[in-house]
């Protein structure tokens, strides 16, 4: 879906970049008191190495290499008098909720990409501590990068309460139109923030509950009649500021799908896996910012039935198709569950060359969490993926 009006608007915004509204005499309208534009551009070299048999040295892999672009541009209109805020954004990429990447020349010589609507929402402050949001929006819940991909934009209604040390969030979102029915997710989160000098702590307990309409016969098949996604999530983060140039952080997230029910082999993976025992996922990570350099490291495990595969981080576990959902014992219906039943390490290092321009390298090293033997050429045992990113924020 190309948004021609918004494209023209943002194009002219770039042309006049650096000029004030007084210089070009733009009238924002009586109901708008402030307009802000921001965005970012990322160019990425991705190298994806699929090691199908780490023991058999006669197997020669052919790593996939590709260049990708991510471009995002957002606008924010504010009316402080009426306490309304309207936000809208554009991005590259397709309809996939976990990626705004556009791969260079993927189908033809010097192929051009599309610009899509990334989000569009309205936010109203009832009072300083209470607000609600309606529309497609950035993820309103406190979380790590694993359980929810950073590109996921929930569509629906959000209520937020922030009393300083204590906060709460409630949301009702449409996940999927399934025929005449709506697949919904309901999210609840309560948490606390504590500041003690140069140390701050944030902890949150969340619940994400999906109705069974998110399963359909084409995209996402329900493995058995008792199976559902009812995810309980615990997330905590500690930040330590040594001075203005040095910041250390660590975090832990544990999530469990209490709705993963069924007999052995009736979960997201065909085989001898019990969905009840594959319902746990967790991540432990740390990061450091030292002057203009940054470092990150994390270790994660994602059980086969611990989260919704189409909403978790799309990079960690990418290419892992280690299982299939079956409609009956004789018929394989659709390959799903990519990126789950995986464990591994993510390491990143970056450097700010200028205030807004950064170079970053990330390595993903992962493998199956529980070994599943299938007659599948894509059933890789070990995988490595590397990103070399050039990022500019404006």
Q: What is the pLDDT of residues 83-109, one digit of tens each?
A: 999 999 999 998 889 999 999 998 899
| Contact status, residue 332 vs residue 326, Cβ threshold 8 Å | yes
pLDDT in the model for residue 8? 47
Q: What is the pLDDT of residue 184?
A: 96
Q: What is the pLDDT of residue 368?
A: 87
Q: Computed from CA positions of residues 23, 27, 31, 35, in that sequence, does the dihedral angle turn out positive or negative?
A: negative
DSSP-derived letter for residue 14 is H
Q: Does domain 39-66+126-393 have CATH number 2.40.160?
A: yes
* Cα–Cα distance measured from residue 234 to residue 284, given in angstroms and rounded to the nearest whole number: 12
CB 388 within 8 A of CB 363: no
Q: How far is CA 114 from the centre of its chain?
A: 20
Q: What is the pLDDT of residue 90?
A: 97
pTM of the model: 0.86
Distance CA 296, CA 287 (A): 4
**Is residue 35 packed enough to be buried (19+ CB in 10 Å), middle (13-18) or exposed (0-12)?**
middle
pLDDT of residue 27: 67
The confidence score (pLDDT) of residue 380 equals 52
Cite the DSSP H helix spans in the chain.
Answer: 4-15, 21-24
Q: Which residue has the tokens 């807004």?
A: 356
Residue 214 main-chain phi, psi, to 5 deg: -70, -15
Q: Where are the domains of the chain?
A: 39-66+126-393
d(CA 313, CA 219): 18
Nearest to 41 by CA among 75, 73, 7: 73
Q: Extract the tokens encoding 349.
A: 């290092």
Residues of the chain with pLDDT under 70: 1-27, 51-62, 270-271, 321-337, 373-381
Burial, 250: exposed, middle or buried (Cβ in 10 Å; 0-12, 13-18, 19+)?
Answer: middle
Beta strands in the chain (DSSP E): 34-51, 64-79, 84-91, 102-103, 116-127, 130-136, 155-162, 166-178, 181-196, 199-210, 230-243, 246-257, 280-290, 293-302, 324-328, 331-335, 342-352, 357-368, 382-393
Q: What is the pLDDT of residue 7?
A: 44
pLDDT of residue 303: 94
């Amino acid at each position: 879906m190309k948004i021609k009006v918004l494209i023209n608007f943002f194009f002219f915004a770039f042309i006049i970049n650096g000029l004030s509204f007084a210089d070009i005499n733009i009238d924002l309208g009586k109901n708008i008191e402030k307009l802000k534009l921001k965005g970012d551009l990322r160019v990425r070299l991705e190298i994806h190495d699929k090691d199908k048999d780490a023991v058999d040295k006669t197997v020669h892999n052919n790593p996939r290499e590709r260049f990708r672009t991510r471009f995002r541009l957002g606008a924010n209109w504010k009316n402080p008098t009426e306490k309304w805020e309207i936000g809208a954004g554009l991005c590259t990429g397709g309809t996939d909720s976990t990626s705004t990447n556009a791969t260079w020349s993927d189908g033809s010589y010097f192929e051009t990409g599309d610009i899509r609507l990334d989000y569009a929402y309205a936010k109203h402050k009832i009072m300083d501590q209470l607000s609600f949001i309606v529309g497609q929006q950035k993820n309103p819940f406190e979380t790590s990068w694993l359980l929810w991909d950073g590109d996921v934009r929930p569509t629906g209604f959000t209520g937020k309460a922030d009393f300083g040390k204590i906060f709460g969030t409630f949301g009702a979102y449409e996940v999927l139109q399934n025929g005449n029915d709506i697949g919904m997710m309901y999210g609840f989160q309560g948490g606390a923030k504590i500041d003690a000098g140069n140390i701050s702590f944030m902890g949150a307990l969340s619940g994400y509950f999906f109705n069974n309409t998110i399963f359909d016969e084409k995209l996402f098949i329900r493995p058995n009649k008792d199976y559902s996604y009812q995810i309980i999530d615990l997330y905590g983060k500690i930040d330590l500021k040594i001075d203005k140039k040095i910041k250390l952080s660590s975090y832990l997230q544990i999530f469990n799908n209490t709705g993963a029910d069924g007999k052995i082999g009736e979960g997201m993976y065909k085989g001898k896996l019990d969905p009840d025992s594959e319902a746990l996922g967790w991540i432990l990570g740390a990061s450091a910012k030292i002057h203009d350099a940054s470092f990150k490291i994390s270790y994660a495990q994602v059980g086969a039935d611990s989260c919704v595969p189409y909403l978790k981080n799309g990079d960690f576990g990418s290419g892992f198709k280690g299982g299939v959902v079956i409609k009956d014992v004789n018929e394989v219906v659709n390959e799903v569950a990519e990126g789950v039943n995986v464990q591994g390490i993510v390491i990143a290092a970056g450097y700010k060359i200028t205030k807004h321009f950064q170079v970053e390298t990330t390595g993903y090293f992962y493998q199956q969490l529980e070994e599943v033997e299938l007659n599948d050429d894509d059933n890789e045992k070990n995988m490595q993926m590397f990103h070399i990113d050039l990022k500019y924020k404006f």
